[in-house]
Structure 1
Amino acid sequence: MTTLAASETNPAARAGLALILALGVTQVAGYGALYYAFAVLAPGMTASFGWAPEWTYGGFALGLLAGGLAAPFAGRLVDRYGTRRMMSIGSVLASLSLLALSKADGLLSYYAAMIALEMVATLVLYDAAFTALTQAHGAGARRAISKLTLIGGFASTLFWPLTTALLTHADWRMIYQIYALGYLAVALPLHALALPRGRATAARPIQPGETPNTVGYLGGAARQRAFVLLAIAFSLQGFVVSAMSVHMLTLLQGFGFSAALAVALGAMVGPSQVTGRLIEMLFGTNVAPVTTAWVSGALMPFGFVLLVIGGGTTVLAGLFAIAYGVSMGLSSIVRGTVPLQLFGPAGYGAMLGKLSAPGLAIRAAAPLTFAVMMERAGLAASTAVLVTLSGAAALALLLLARGVSRR
């Protein structure tokens, strides 16, 4: 009913299940090929190039840094030209970047391909997809965003085992070539045909002389405070998630679990993400997005504490994986819904880009930094950092929710 009402009142919208399913498929394919595959392929890439692992992860980090720098600009392009045009262009550029990565034959070409890959990713992954749903649904896009992230949560669950299976038949170069062609064949038609044409007035950029709080959204000092708290929370959580996306299996083995059990525990994260998103979609309609934000934020340090006090206990490690996965799943929704609740749909794409920018160096440096930390400071100190950073992010979100509730 909500989707139908939105489509009837907004003639620019391509509302409904078809749009969500189309974007869901492209997000699974995009995150799988552009992001999650790297964790599986990185050791083979390192061996192929014959350099230290730091150079491989350094290229990934530099790419994330470039992507963060490009995010505000990409958001403005999406707001100005519409998601249909920009995500279609992004599909082609992402496929070409994957192909270029597969052809890299040295440090310079590898780093250039990684930078290009992460920069164009800003045109096709969640921020752009959330903007597409906001252009279709306006301020009522929350439920659509929840449904999209529910589908997107299967990216790691599908692509980690898929990439591992492909490695038994092909090297990392061939796999990236397969993903390049596959992503183009899947994403380009869906972006070109299913997304809204042009840009909806609901998501147009703020015009000179307009104020951002004309329809009850935050403005002035309250807007600046909310932006800072969100940027802090997203940045700190970004470090943790970025580090864990590469080093979760290593961390779990450090706590005494076998490689097979570590993989099994890590595999629980994906379904837990989906479960958290499903719960939010079914029961979170009457819960303010800022409330969902601090609850999801608190689950992450809680999970790490369970892992630490468990001392290698499988049950508590499993509860860690569930808590961490649910937190990750909800945080993806929060990233799209809280800015919409607080700042409104006007200039939405650019706002998401601006929120991503402050923590770009933190997120980009996370995989390499955490690897060095694990080697030199040890397991206990490294895990304590994860608890501290995720706890600080949860506190920032709690302060945000309390500030909004007092308005």
Structure 2
Amino acid sequence: MTTTTARAPLPIPLPLIIAAGCFIALVTFGTRSTAGLFMLPMTADLGWSREGYAMALAVQNLVWGITQPFAGGFADKFGTGRTLAIGAVIYAIGLLLAAFSPTVELFIVTGGVLMGIGIGTASFGVVMAAFGRAVPPEKRSFVFGIATAASSMGQFVFAPLGQAFISNFGWQMALVYLALIILMVVPLSASLRGRTNSAPGDADMPFMQALAKALGHNSYRLLIIGFFVCGFHLAFITVHFPAFLIQCGLTPEASSWALGLIGLFNVAGSLLAGWLGDRLPKQILLAVIYFLRAIGTAAFLLLPITEVSAYIYAATLGLLWLATVPLTAGLVSLFFGPRYMGMLYGVAFLSHQIGSFFGVWLGGLAFDMTGSYDLVWYLGILIGLFSAAIHLPIRENKAPAFIAAAT
């Protein structure tokens, strides 16, 4: 009688893990960033209001945020590769069904709930958890910056690509093609397989206990509040900026390139933020980013809006766009260690997505009520200044409850 011995899976080289994770982040975030390009053709063809379309996207952002902590916890316990593959399939199904949703109510289910679950389960938040497990602590902020830069490159690639799909094949087939592209994540997810174990010196505790102790840490609470503002800014711009620029007299192609420039310049912004995050206090860098966003937006609105000014603003905003992510993820990893990274970054990201819900929805509501986006633009400036202020008291230290007791 013979017996077989199970072999441990071969270790995956770190460069391959980073490359696969970055490509997944590029595809999933890039596809999501095309949402604003579909607003005008879909509302024109189907007779929807902008608020109706915006509500579906707002629900998508909220569901994405609600899903993220559970997806992160699932990845921490059962593996990131499995989580990403499941999320990609749900994401693709949501896109396919959204292409054939004739009513706003059905679109809220397909483009809102289903896509929100898929994005939350196949997002760069789960990729960050894999990187947090595989990368040494002293290099995490920079590698988080690389993943964020890849996400931004996805926006640069997919904004003009999505517009080309819409112009040449119509918005319905454009959604179908994007769904097929998302399925590329499934085979790539195998490179990120594995789950996170406690590191030496980290406390080990049940997940819900870890969550309760994390929420008792003041610096984490401030970080969560600030991330709400980031979500408000990003979602409002992603969904409403193309329509705003068209209202100002720009062409759809110019508006898509402006959206793409945000992604291109954020490649540099994310890498720089990740590099600086390993060398300077992360909370100070976050305060500077939010402050500069507010000042840059005020300058853009006060000056005449032309194609050149839109591109300059897009490039400036791009440098600050997702630069918050490697710094926020770096602080979460520093506070609590890699063991709970997926879940606790997911909780912070839930706050981000609640902000996204209000940014998308209020944009559509304000336009339908006033014919203008001015109210939401100025609200974004005010809360940007608020977020800059509340990051200053954050302390860059490990949370005491997550330090293992000496034996």
Query: TM-score normalised by the shorter chain: which range applies?
Result: 0.7 to 0.9
Q: Paired residue for 1:31, among 29, 32, 42?
A: 29
Offset, 1:15: 4.9
Q: In the TM superposition, what is the alpha-carbon distance from 1:239 to its structure 2 partner? A: 0.8
Structure 2 CA distance for aligned equivalents of residues 296 and 15 of structure 1: 34
Indicate which of 222, 247, 252 corresponds to 2:240. 247
Output one character per residue of 1:42-96: Cα deviation in whole Å (capped at 9) or x when no partner.
2222233333232222111122222222222222111111101111221222222
Going from structure 1 to structure 2, the CA distance change for 1:234 and 1:268 (only over 3 Å counts) comes to same
Q: Which residue pairs with 2:38 in the alignment?
A: 41
- Provide the secondary structure at the position in 2 that maps to 1:51: coil
Cα displacement (A) at 1:209: 11
Asked if 1:373 corresponds to 2:361, the answer is: no
Q: Is 1:88 the equivalent of 2:81?
A: no
1:247 partner letter = H
Aligned length: 384
Q: Which residue of 2 aligns with 1:64?
A: 61
From 356, 360, 372, give the equivalent of 2:349. 356
CA apart distance, 1:116: 1.0
Q: 2:323 aligns to what?
A: 330
* AA partner of residue 327 (structure 1): L
Tell me what 2:390 maps to: 396
Structure 1 Cα separation of the partners of residues 155 and 264 of structure 2? 10
RMSD of aligned residue pairs (Cα, Å)? 3.2
The answer for the alignment partner of 1:308 in structure 2 is: 301
Is residue 61–residue 116 contact of structure 2 (8 Å, CA) maintained in 1? yes
Q: Which amino acid aligns with 1:349?
A: G
1:172-220 deviation digits (Å, cap 9, x = unpaired): 2212221212221x2111102x1133444449994159997xxxxxx78
Distance 1:370 1:205, change over 3 A: farther
Rounded Cα–Cα distance in structure 2 between residues aligned with 1:233 and 1:316: 28
Q: Distance in 2 between matches of 1:24 and 1:199?
A: 19
- Return closer, same or farther for 1:264/1:95 CA change in 2, 3 Å cut-off: closer
What is the identity, as a one-letter code, of the residue corresponding to 2:95?
Answer: L
**Residue of structure 1 equivalent to 2:123:** 125
Deviation of the 1:319 alpha carbon:
4.9
Flag structure 1 segments of 5+ consecutive residues without an equivalent.
1-10, 213-218
The question of whether the paired residues in 1 share the 8 Å contact of 2:300 and 2:309 is answered with yes
Contact 1:205 1:348 in 2 (8 A): no
1:77 aligns with 2:74: yes
Question: Of residues 386, 397, 400 in structure 1, which corresponds to 2:380?
Answer: 386
For structure 2, the residue ranges without an aligned partner over 5 or more in a row are 1-8, 401-407
Residue pair 2:150, 2:267 contacting (<8 A) in 1 also: yes
Q: Mark the CA change 1:36 to 1:252 in structure 2 (over 3 Å): closer, same or farther.
A: same
**CA contact 1:30–1:125 (8 Å) conserved in 2:** yes
CA distance in structure 1 between the partners assigned to 2:260 and 2:18 by the alignment:
25
CA distance in 2, matches of 1:243, 1:227: 25
Matches within 5 A, 1:167-206: 167-184=166-183, 186-192=184-190, 194-202=191-199, 206=204
**What is the identity, as a one-letter code, of the residue corresponding to 2:186?**
L
Counterpart amino acid of residue 354 in structure 1 = V
Distance 1:333 1:95, change over 3 A: same
Question: CA 1:241–1:283 in 2, change beyond 3 Å: closer, same or farther?
Answer: closer
Cα distance change of structure 1 residues 349 and 264 upon mapping to structure 2, 3 Å threshold: closer
Matched, 1:159 2:158: yes
Partner of 1:340: 333
* Percent identical residues: 19
Cα distance in 1 between the residues matched to 2:34 and 2:257: 18
Q: Secondary structure at the match of 2:168?
A: coil
Larger CA deviation: 371-380 vs 131-140: 371-380
Provide the TM-score with structure 1 as the length reference. 0.83
Measure, in 1, the Cα distance between the counterparts of 2:189 and 2:142. Answer: 20
Q: CA–CA distance in 2 between the matches of 1:153 and 1:295?
A: 20
Q: Distance in 1 between matches of 2:205 and 2:381?
A: 42
CA distance 1:315–1:120, change in 2 (3 Å):
closer
The answer (yes or no) to whether the contact 1:63–1:117 under 8 Å persists in 2 is yes
Relative to structure 1, the CA distance from residue 280 to residue 198 in structure 2 (aligned partners, 3 Å threshold; closer, same or farther) is closer
Partner Cα distance (1:81, 1:57) in 2: 34
- Residue 316 of structure 1 and its aligned partner are, at CA, apart by 6.3
Residues 1:147 and 2:140 are matched in the alignment = no
Amino acid at match of 1:62: V
Name the CA distance, whole Å, in 2 between partners of 1:352 and 1:283. Answer: 20
CA drift of 1:313 comes to: 7.5
CA contact (8 A) 2:159 2:256 kept: no
Change (3 A) 1:118 1:262: closer
Residues 266-277 of structure 1: pairs in structure 2 closer than 5 A: 266-277=259-270
